[in-house]
Amino acid sequence: MTHTLVTVQGLLARAGTPADVFGPLASADTLRQRFRALILAAHPDHNPAASDAANAACHALNEWYAAAQRQLAAGVYGTAPRIRISSGPREYVGYAAPIAGELCDLFPAEADGGPVLLKAARH
């Protein structure tokens, strides 16, 4: 499929996970190829009349690419998260099984590209 800035913007607007942006992947090489095709279509040099929109799309693509690389490395790319919590401007997403305790469960998760541990009390 040949992408344009408009198709990339539509893809990014609907995306909720890296798999929504890059589709199913067999390897990191496939990810790199798909990223390059999308970034080429959205690059400001190819869209001088819409440079602000192109810059925003490239920034978003870079963030999704980094997230996809982390998920591929962790072996969770394309899987549904076990936990997703939004609190104010932050979103926490976890794919690993929780660590069960007597009073609460601990969920390994990610926020802002870094690891966090979410504590969920049981009733």
Contact yes or no for 119/103 (Cβ under 8 A): no
Angle at alpha carbon of residue 70, lines to 66 and 73, rounded to 5°: 135
pLDDT at 117 over 70: yes
Cα separation of 42 and 10, whole Å? 11
pLDDT at 113 over 90: no
Model pLDDT for residues 69-86, shown as the tens digit of each residue: 988 988 889 988 888 899
pLDDT at 1 over 80: no
Q: What is the pTM of this model?
A: 0.80
Judge if 110 and 91 occupy the same domain: yes
Judge if 111 and 58 occupy the same domain: no
User: What is the count of structural domains for the chain?
Assistant: 2
Judge if 56 and 91 occupy the same domain: no
Judge if 39 and 91 occupy the same domain: no
Judge if 9 and 57 occupy the same domain: yes
Judge if 63 and 113 occupy the same domain: no
Distance of CA 66 to the CA centre of its chain: 7
Q: Which domain holds residue 20?
A: 5-74
Contact yes or no for 41/8 (Cβ under 8 A): yes
Q: What is the dihedral of CA 47, 65, 67, 30, to 10 degrees?
A: 150
Cα separation of 11 and 19, whole Å? 11
Model pLDDT for residues 24-75, shown as the tens digit of each residue: 998 999 999 999 999 999 999 999 999 999 999 999 999 999 989 988 988 8
| Closest C-alpha to 49, from 4, 80, 3, 89 | 4
Judge if 40 and 67 occupy the same domain: yes
Judge if 36 and 63 occupy the same domain: yes
Q: Are strands 83-87 and 90-94 parallel, antiparallel or unpaired?
A: antiparallel
pLDDT band at residue 11 under the 50/70/90 scheme:
very high
